[in-house]
Amino acid sequence: MTDSTAEKLSVPPGAPRDQSRPDALFKWLTAACSLVVIVIMAGILFELVRNSGMAFREFGFSFLTTDSWNPILSDFGAASSVYGTLVSTGIAMIIAVPLSIIIAIYFVEVAHPKVSRLIGGAVELLAAIPSIIYGMWGLFVFAALMQTHVQPFLGTHLGALPLFQGPPMGIGMLTAGLILALMVLPFITAVTRDVLMMVPPVLKESAYGVGSTMWETVRFVSLKYGRRGIVGAVFLGFGRALGETMAVTFVIGNSHRISASLFSAGNTIASSLANEFNEASEPIYLSSLFALALVLFGITLAFQTMAHHWVARMQRLEGGDR
Amino acid sequence: MRPRSRAQRRAADAAIRVAMVPAALIGIAVLAWILGEVIARGVGALTPTFFTELPTPPGMEGGGLGNAIVGTLLMTLLAALMGTPVGLLAGVFLAEFGPSSRIATTVRFTTNLLMGTPSIIIGIFVYSVLVLPLGHFSGWAGAVALAILILPVVMRTTEDMLNLVPDELRESGLALGAPRWKVTLGIIFRAARSGLVTGVLLAVARVSGETAPLLFTALNSFYWPGSLSRPTANLTVTIFNYAMSPYSDWQEKAWGASLLITVSVLVVAVLARFVIKDGRERA
């Protein structure tokens, strides 16, 4: 905190014992501990690059653009996995973001404070439920509902779109996206709720005072005030959905084919890794999976760095401490 | 803002209010449905032998997942023992020694990146540094993977909690002639205790339900975890294997294990909140 004064103060003049040595030791110890994260991150990057070298030498840049995935012919490409990762995450965000923001607004602005505290706390707890539980539920409960009701319904009413064609199998890209949406929903809701509760009452009262309705107050005052926090929450949810493994692996169907229909089976990078990593017997197969992992790592890093700079820029543009 | 008539503005407000209730209800109802389903399907599997016996082959009556429960507890405990001290000290560095120095900024940014790294990538990393070179899956590798997941979370909460401690406390400690390390560990840590405990508890609870980092490190096993140098049974990978199997009795066990994990994680999360509340009331 007050670094310079504190350091000077820690060696008072005429002290009976020189304390600077144990203190320096302590400082270096904590510094070493904090460097562990940098070593780990560098180690992850190094190991992924090293182990995926064979695949990139073999397939070159086309690894990213071909969608063949054939362990028998030892021909591998990442396109279908990248496509599935982005599409399932996209579905999840399209549904989860508006829904969780609306739910958060409801808790903060409309619901009775007691209800808000009780259910709001419950939602926060739900964000702690392990993702494998969502996967189990998705496979045994939700997939059946999708097969018997949701997919036939979409097929008959929106079947003209290529998105909703094909046999209702229950599992597939759409189901995976919906499960992901449910998984990030409590998370984004909880953070947005916290952000909205931090809006100073004076600001909201001023808006109501000049005759704004509840919706106008939320839209032009609360959401604007908490914009940075909410954007941060959305980014975090996005990052989680991108790399989520268990919730997806159960329900996506694991097929390395790109299909226009959201009903058909697909795969994500994470689900392919979970399913195939322990079975990869050929070195080139294993190396291709490492290359997939490197692609996922690269996507999440690029995405987070972008988010970081974007939020920082918003902060600079808006000025002040908000 | 475009000018609108009063009726229009009122209508927009009413429409939002009407749309909110079903949105909130759907969200809550589905989440309640998930919990309800886990309880309904899992409760039948939780017999006394579930906790004490080894798994049986599919189709055979009885048996349990005692080995997986012990394995998960062991690996989570080890991960907490490895990840927590390092995380606490690293958090001290970020909060106490030059919070805006370049090194601290870099560490903070890297910590965020590590927190956002998919857990399956951590699993693959540990596979390539601990499993490939040694030639076998092991409980140690699983614990290390979990520790890597605990570390950034503990670092961030520690930094946040230490920042909440007023500077006057630090200054009074130093003014008495106490060395910096004593002030930090004896005074600041004590002041921030409830927050630190909560942070660690939540990190450990979250990690205990992780599956992806264990798939390629601890693997799974049908035996008691006699040595952590071998593949080690654990609940989450067991859920994955059993749920994907075609045997209904294995699937039932998977539901039982799901219920057990969910309840444990929720209990720890609720406990952690009580710790915070308790600390705030005393402060």
Domain match, B30 and B153 both:
no
Cβ separation B90–A290 shorter than 8 A: no
Mean pLDDT of A208-236: 90
Q: Does B257 map to a domain?
A: yes
Q: Does B1 map to a domain?
A: no
Cβ separation B23–A243 shorter than 8 A: no
Chain A closest-CA separation from residue B41 CA (Å): 10
Q: Does B120 map to a domain?
A: yes
Q: Label residue A12 by pLDDT band (50, 70, 90).
A: low
ipTM of the complex: 0.92
The DSSP result for A166-214, as a single string, is: S---S-SHHHHHHHHHHHHHHHHHHHHHHHHHTS-HHHHHHHHHTT--H
- Domain count across chain B: 2
pLDDT score of A313 more than 50: yes
**pLDDT tens-digit readout, A22-78:** 889 999 999 999 999 999 999 999 999 999 999 999 998 889 988 889 888 888 999
Q: Is A178 on the interface with B (CB under 8 A)?
A: no
Domain that residue B19 falls in: 6-45
For residue A119, the chain B residues in CB contact (below 8 A) are: 28
Q: Does B215 map to a domain?
A: yes
C-beta of residue A102 within 8 angstroms of C-beta of residue B20: yes
User: Residue A322's pLDDT is what?
Assistant: 43
For residue B37, the chain A residues in CB contact (below 8 A) are: 137, 140-141
CATH superfamily of A63-318: MetI-like (1.10.3720.10)
Q: Label residue A120 by pLDDT band (50, 70, 90).
A: confident
Closest chain B CA to residue A305: B113
Domain match, B154 and B182 both:
yes
Q: Is B9 on the interface with A (CB under 8 A)?
A: yes
Question: Could you list the pLDDT tens digit for every one of the 283 residues in chain B?
Answer: 567 788 888 998 898 888 888 888 888 888 899 999 999 999 999 999 999 999 998 888 888 999 999 999 999 999 999 999 999 999 999 999 878 889 999 999 999 999 999 999 999 999 999 999 999 999 999 999 999 999 999 999 999 999 999 999 999 999 998 999 999 999 999 999 999 999 999 999 999 999 999 999 999 999 999 899 999 999 999 999 999 999 999 999 999 999 999 999 999 988 887 876 665 554 4
Cβ separation B94–A34 shorter than 8 A: yes
Q: Which contiguous run of DSSP H or E holds residue B154?
A: helix B139-164
Indicate the pTM of the whole model: 0.91
Q: Which residue bears the tokens 């045997």?
A: B247
What are the domain boundaries of chain A? Answer: 63-318
Q: Closest to A128 (Cβ–Cβ): which among B94, B215, B265? A: B265
Between A283-318 and A269-276, two packed helices, what is the crossing angle to 10 degrees? 150
User: Residue B88's pLDDT is what?
Assistant: 96
Chain B closest-CA separation from residue A317 CA (Å): 21
Query: Which residues are CB-contacts of B18 (< 8 A; sequence separation ≥ 6)?
Result: none
d(C-alpha B141, C-alpha B130), whole Å: 6
Domain match, B26 and B84 both:
no
User: Residue B283's pLDDT is what?
Assistant: 44
Q: Is A210 on the interface with B (CB under 8 A)?
A: no
**pLDDT tens-digit readout, A265-307:** 999 999 999 999 988 888 999 999 999 999 999 999 999 999 8
Cβ separation B211–A106 shorter than 8 A: no
User: Residue A61's pLDDT is what?
Assistant: 87
Other C-beta atoms closer than 10 Å to the C-beta of A156 total: 9
Q: Which residue bears the tokens 């475009």?
A: B2
Check which CATH number belongs to the domain holding B55 and give it. Answer: 1.10.3720.10
